[in-house]
Amino acid sequence: MSTTVLLTEHEPATRGVLEQQLRDDGFELAPPGSAPDLVLAGNDAELDRWRGQAPVIMLGPAEARPDERVRAFRRGCDDYLARPFHYDELVERMRAVLRRTGVPSSARIVAGSLAIDRRARLVTVRGIRIELSQKEYDLLLQLARDPERVFTKEELLRDVWGFRTRSRTRTLDAHASRLRRKLRAADPAAPLVENEWGVGYRLFGPFPA
């Protein structure tokens, strides 16, 4: 399955050229409402929208100052490329980011009885559809990318909510609790959103081979 790319370029001529070049190189353009494997963001709003959900390469203005580029990295972008850029360099940066972030070749993530269709933003447990809020979905997707790994609270607050500093908020705990209840309501044997006290959360099995 080809890698899906969300292109947020708004200038029609540039967008048209990039779309054709990406298709020629085997990439698939993500349709509206789908979950892409990689985002090419043209502004801070797009970076904030997709941070934590997919790797983001920021396509910044030619006049961007070093401090503006540093700020983009601190906001969560995975790479930064100023305009005008050479298309071949863009493609190599895209491939490097995909290798580094370990984006799966498939848009479907399976962990035990849990399945996530990233393109349709569909979560099922033993075929039963689970209705989740955006942040519940984002949290589950983050945990399911590496089942049984413990994600620290700082990681999850940064990658899912965009918090850049330590916070005493109960937002993460509240979302994890609701997510746990929804999964268990669908299937008592569903993977458990488990709290590792003092550390963070993980998606705990069973995950049969």
Answer whether 141's CB lies under 8 Å from 199's CB. no
Peptide bond just before 84 cis, omega within 30 deg: yes
Relative orientation angle of helices 171-186 and 153-161, to the nearest 10 degrees: 90
Confidence grade of residue 209 (pLDDT, cut at 50, 70, 90): very low
Exposed / middle / buried, residue 181 (Cβ in 10 Å: 0-12, 13-18, 19+): exposed
Answer with the residue of higher pLDDT: 15 or 21. 21
Cα–Cα dist 24/13, whole Å: 17
Interval 38-65 mean pLDDT:
88
Helix (H) / strand (E) element for 185: namely helix 171-186
Residue 115: how many CB atoms within 10 A of its CB?
Answer: 16
In the predicted model, what is the mean pLDDT of the chain? 84
CA distances from 90 to 31, 111, 150 (A): 21, 33, 33
- All domains of the chain in start order, with CATH: 4-101 (3.40.50.2300), 108-204 (1.10.10.10)
Q: Is the pLDDT of residue 33 over 70?
A: no
How many Å apart are CA 189 and CA 28, to the nearest integer?
A: 36
Answer whether the bond into residue 32 is a cis peptide, omega within 30°. no
